[in-house]
Structures are given as structure tokens and as C-alpha cells.
Amino acid sequence: MKDWYKNLVVYQIWPRSFCDGNGDGIGDLEGVLSKLDYIKDLGCNCIWFSPLYPSPNADYGYDIADYKSINPEYGDLELFKKVLNEAHKRDIKVIMDLVVNHTSDEHKWFVESKNPSSPYHDYYFWRDGKQGGKKPPNNWLSCFEGGAWEKDDKNGKYYLHVFAKKQPDLNHDNPRVREEVKDIMRFWLDMGVDGFREDVITFISKKKGLPNGFPIPSACGIEHYMDGPHIHEYLKEYRDVTDEYDCFTLGEAPMMTPTKALKYIDESNKELDLMFHFQHMEADCILVDYIQRKFNLKKMKKAFSSWQEKINGRAWNTLYLENHDHPRIISRYGSEKYREESGKMLANMYMLQQGTPFVYQGQELGMLNTRLDSIDEYADCFVKNNYNVARNKVHLSEKKCWEWAVKSTRDNARTPVQWSDAENAGFTTSTPWFPVNKNYHEINAEKEQANPDSILNHYKKLIKFKKENEVAIYGDYKEHFKSSSVLYVYERNYKGKRLLVINSFSEKNVPFEAPKDFDLEQATPILCNYKNPTLQGNGFMLRPYETRVYYFE
Ligand code: TEU
Ligand code: CA
């Protein structure tokens, strides 16, 4: 059975902010081409491209207007093929983002579908409103903005959009829609791509009749489309296509638990190879980054451990701390004050668990959250809407709404990558589409490349270790000191080899005593973030955000 995806370390590119090759201020495929050696040098052997397709950018590519082409801002199909080919030459796989829960409202299917007698009408959820069309067909709310229904003035009907208004949901109950999805998959697989990351794929089957949802403030109705009635059927159909190719698939699944996940990724009956869940990303918020609370290490550990323990031997984990939907991890779970220390610690902490690791652009540099001057300067539709709701509907103070927005916006992860301390961080020669983080003189790739102790060089060592050591890939996982609210310690075991991974989440010194059956003097400390780790004895003081890995060979 194919399982090469277990040995990958995937680098995620959010193209708009990665690297601008033609000087128009927008990241593009020429830029990607110029950085393939950088990705190779980092040790990553797969790239996941966030959407590269033509898009009106209401949700920056997650609103797709044409599934079989490349956004002219980024390049064209010829250039994409060149990138693919050059990546493959470097033994780097390439996966595409497949966003088929919804299209853009500017996709030709949707434009056609407005006409009730068009064969495309049933590609979407068009319904008559209630009370003679005055009210939407049900009470569902959009995850992004207001109600989940929008009325078309011309045909008098409403269409469903679980995300933004410009992202109408596709009707996968229509077999023709499923054929279109398979056709899109084949288009890219035939070209040679190595798989897909499937956006909110667990949302594609809606309950028949679209009944009213339980009245909650946002995403009302979600119980009628999350893991919906035909989800497994449809995913098996899509799986049949990917099974014809040597590729892998990764589903994004909000509100997923390990037990539910096994229905999708259990190796004995797989619909997807891997799954992105969100549980470990909720240690400082409730479900979404916008509803914040104090970082709680125990919550984070519990989430990681439950996935490690519950799917061990039956399915394979994905490991990530950042992507284009979440603020930067050092600013969240680490410490900006101890950026270097906590950046390296967080890296060890997640990557040495069992699973395929993902690194999001700039994470390897220890990039931090940004701060602009007003809500209008932000780009993300999600934060703008959250701000408006909190301010105008819930009537919270301007200061509170603003602080929430700054901290939680997805734009934190979407500032241009900081390549050097040249103007605009070397991202572009003109004005960047979105402001570069002001800290680029201190934090940039060029500077980190030159410094053997940088976060970037730590990632290089770590990725190399992860790929080359079976214990880091296949080892069993066991957590220690579960009740500690400052330490996260776990071991991995494989064929007589052993790792003890020690991570402190404290700004203070914390005493540490090795678990009973470990004699640290028998091991080599590796991947440390402080010079001169104590080499003697089984008890010592851990310094702020210290990380150590003891390798028993
Ligand atoms: O994200 C799905 C998802 O769950 C998000 O709505 C998440 O709740 C939000 O970003 C807050 O963190 C996927 C994509 O990754 C995201 O970029 C898209 O905006 C969304 O789907 C719609 O396509
Ligand atoms: Ca450009």
C-alpha cells in the first residue's frame, strides 16, 4: 500500500504573500520558482499550494471562478507546469487545494444557475423564500457573514452560502456536480500533481430538506451539513478517482474528533489519507480564533495526545501549528519576548510527534503577528465581519473589538514573507498588496540563513532529523506529566530506539526530573534551544521556553 505521504514534510504556500517575481506587489509563480531551492534546502519534500486558480479574491482564492486555470495574477498553466516540473526534479511533491464545497459567485456555473431552467440551476441550492419570498428558506447563518442565504433580485430565489456571500455552496447531491469534481481532480492529477488538500470537505453533504438549525449565533445549521448524511458515499466516489493515481488526499475538517475521524481515515477503509482537525488550535480560543481566552497548555496537550493515542495504528496524523487561517503560533502559544526560544521549542513540540508535519510559509523564520492602524487596512473578510458584528450588533466597546480583531485576524499569517532586510522585506520591488510586518529588519530569511543558531536553521536540523529517524516517524507516543500546566513532555519508541521530548512553556525557570525509567546520561541531547544543556544527572532546571530532546540510540 502506498504510504510515502508518511515521510513527507509539507511546506504550505499562500501564493499572494509568498514571493513576487514580476514586481507588481503580488506574490506569484515566478516568485515560487525562485524559492524552490530554499524549500529544498529547508528539507521540505512537498508543497501544498493554497488556491492558485482565477478568483475575485473575496476570500483570497477560496472563491474559485475557474478550476482548470491559473489566476493571471500568479501566472498561467504553462508556468505552473514549469513549477511542477522543477519541484519534481528536486524530489518535491506538489498538492493543490481543492475547494469544492463552494465556488465563486463569478464562476460560470453559478452565473448560469441563476436561470431556473438552466441545467446548472441544480448545481447550487436555490430555494424559494418563506412568507412569499420575504424571508430566507431557513434560519442558517453563514460562518463568515450574517445569514447563509442571499436573494437574487432577478429570479426571486435565494441561494445558500455557508461561507461568504460570494461563495455559493455546490450541491453534491447532484450527480453532475460530482462528475465535475472528479473531472477537476483528473485534470490536475493527469498533469502530474501529487494530491489534494480538500477544503472543508466534511461540509459537502447537506441534510435533505435543509431543516432549520439549532439557534446559535454563528454557523447556525452546521449540524445539518457537518459530516452530513451522504458524506462517506461521496468521498468514496472521489477516492475511486484518486486511487487510480499515485497521490494522497488530505481533508480539512472543522470540529473533528479522533473517533469521528476514523470513519474517514481508518487505514482499513480509507476515504482520505490524512485529515486536518482544529482541536489543538483551540487552546487559546473557543472554536474560532476570534473568541479568545488565555492560553491553556493542558488543553493543547490533551488535544495532541488524544489524536496521538486514539488513532495510533489505525490512521495517520497530520501535525501543524500554523496555516493561512490562524495567527502566528509564537504570538499565540509561545512568547514574542522569547521569540527564538519559544519558536524552536514549538517546532520540536509538534514535529516530533507521530504524523506528517506541515510548515506554513514564514513559520520557519519565526514570523510574528502584525498590527495595522485601523480595521479598514485589514484584508480578511472574516475579521471585518466579526468586528462589525461585535461593534454594531453586540455593542462592545471599540477598543475591545479592535484588540480582538488585531489578535485574531487571519491577516496575521498573511503578511508578505520576510526574505531580507531590503525594502519591503525583499518580497517585492514595488508596493506590496498587503503591508509587510515592520519587524522585517530583525526577522528575515537572509539574516537567519547566516546565523547557525536561528529558528530557520533549527527547522532545518529538525526536519532532517524527522525524515531520517524512524523513531521520529513511526514511534509510539506516550505523554508524561499530564497534569503539568507548564511542561509538555512525551516519549517516542520504535525498535529499541527512544526519544524523550521535553518542552517548557514557561517564562520562568522550571525544575525538571526525568520520568522514572529514563537515565538521561545514557542519551545524547539534540535539537536544544540553549547552549550548554546540563549533561549530567536526571534533574535540572529548565530555562524559559527551553526544549531538549534526548535520543536513546
Ligand atoms: O477554512 C474552513 C474553516 O473552518 C474556516 O472557516 C475557519 O473557521 C476560519 O478560517 C477561522 O479560522 C477553509 C479555508 O482554509 C479558509 O481559508 C476558507 O476561508 C474557508 O475554508 C472557506 O473556503
Ligand atoms: Ca507578482
Phi/psi for 262 (5° steps) reads: -60, -25
Determine whether the shortest distance from the Cβ of 26 to ligand 1 is under 6 A: no
Residue 534 pLDDT exceeds 80:
no
Distance between Cα 54 and ligand 2 center (Å)? 14
User: Residue 527 has which C-alpha cell?
Assistant: 535539537
The answer to whether the CB of 53 falls within 8 A of the CB of 73 is no
CA angle 95, 99, 102 (to 5 degrees): 175
Other CB atoms within 10 A of residue 68 CB? 12
What does the radius of gyration of the chain's CA atoms come to, in whole angstroms?
A: 23
Q: What burial class does residue 535 get, using C-beta atoms within 10 Å of its C-beta: 0-12 exposed, 13-18 middle, 19+ buried?
A: exposed
pLDDT in tens, 395-453: 999 999 999 999 999 999 999 999 999 999 999 999 999 999 999 999 999 999 999 99
Q: Cα 169 from chain centroid?
A: 21
Instruction: Pick the range with the lowest mean pLDDT from 211-220, 324-333, 405-414.
Output: 211-220
Per the annotation, the verdict on 199 as an active-site residue is: yes
Q: Which ligand is nearest to the CA of 385?
A: 1
* Number of the ligand closest to the Cα of 276: 1
Report the pLDDT averaged over residues 237-254: 98
pLDDT at 532 over 80: no
Share of the chain above pLDDT 70, in %: 100
- Ligand 1 close to Cβ of residue 62 (< 6 A): yes
341 C-beta closer than 6 A to ligand 1: no
Tell me the mean pLDDT in the region 207-226.
95
Catalytic, 341? Answer no
Report the alpha-carbon distance of residue 211 to residue 293 in Å, rounded. Answer: 33
Q: Is 289 in the pocket of ligand 1 (CB under 6 A)?
A: yes
197 Cα–ligand 1 center, Å: 13
Check if 325 has its Cβ closer than 6 Å to any atom of ligand 1.
yes
State how far the Cα of 553 lies from the Cα of 520, in Å rounded to an integer: 12
Which residues lie below 8 Å from residue 350, measured CB to CB, with a gap of 6+? 304, 319, 320, 321, 357
CB atoms within 10 A of CB 36: 16
- The predicted-structure confidence for 26-53, as pLDDT tens digits, reads as follows 999 999 999 999 999 999 999 999 999 9
CB distance 124 to 148 below 8 Å: no
Three-state DSSP state, 49: strand
Ligand nearest to the CA of 255: 1
Q: Whose CA is nearest to atom 2 of ligand 1?
A: 200
256 band by pLDDT with thresholds 50, 70 and 90: very high
What's the angle, vertex CA 50, arms to CA 45 and CA 56, rounded to 5?
160
Question: How far is residue 212 from each of residues 131, 159, 222, 426, measured CA to CA in Å?
Answer: 15, 15, 10, 51
Q: Give Cα 267 distance to the centre of its chain.
A: 23
Looking at residue 8, its amino acid is: L
Mean pLDDT of 529-541: 85
Q: Inform me whether the pLDDT recorded for 22 exceeds 60.
A: yes
Higher pLDDT pick, 288 / 259: 259
* Rounded distance from Cα 119 to ligand 2 centre (Å): 37
Instruction: Taking residues 482-510, report their average pLDDT.
Output: 98
What is the SS3 assignment for 521?
A: helix
pLDDT at 537: 84
Q: Which three cell numbers stand for residue 245?
A: 493515481
For residue 222 and ligand 1, the question of a CB distance below 6 A is answered with: no
Residue with grid cell 459537502, as numbered in its chain: 204
Of residues 105, 113, 114, 108, the one with CA closest to residue 166: 105
pLDDT confidence band for 520 (50 / 70 / 90):
very high
State the residue for C-alpha cell 515566478: 30
For residue 70, pLDDT beyond 80: yes
pLDDT band at residue 1 under the 50/70/90 scheme: low
Q: Which residue would you say has higher pLDDT here, 290 or 242?
A: 242
DSSP string of 222-242, one letter each residue: GGGTTT-TTHHHHHHHHHHHH
* 472: confidence class by pLDDT, cuts 50, 70, 90: very high
Residue 54 confidence class, pLDDT cut points 50, 70, 90: very high
**Cα 325 to averaged position of ligand 1 atoms, centre (Å):** 6
For residue 222, how many other CB atoms are within 10 A of its CB? Answer: 20
Beta 158-160 vs 547-552: how paired, if at all?
A: unpaired
| The residue type at 84 | L
The pLDDT tens digits for 87-138 are 999 999 999 999 999 999 999 999 999 999 999 999 999 999 999 999 999 9
Tell me the pLDDT of the chain averaged across its residues: 96
What's the pLDDT tens digit per position in 149-191?
999 999 999 999 999 999 999 999 999 999 999 999 999 999 9
pLDDT at 303 over 80: yes
Give the pLDDT of residue 289: 77
E runs forming strands in 46-170 = 46-49, 93-98, 126-127, 149-151, 158-160
Instruction: Single out the catalytic residue among 73, 180, 198, 199.
Output: 199
Selected catalytic residue, list 145, 252, 340, 491: 252
Task: Tell me the three state secondary structure of residue 185.
Answer: helix
With a 6 Å cutoff on the Cβ, whether 199 touches ligand 1 is: yes
Cβ atoms of residues 413 and 323 within 8 Å: yes
d(CA 417, CA 102): 28
Interstrand relation of 93-98 and 46-49 (parallel, antiparallel or unpaired): parallel
Ligand 2 centre and the CA of 475: distance in Å? 43
Q: Which three cell numbers stand for residue 141?
A: 447563518
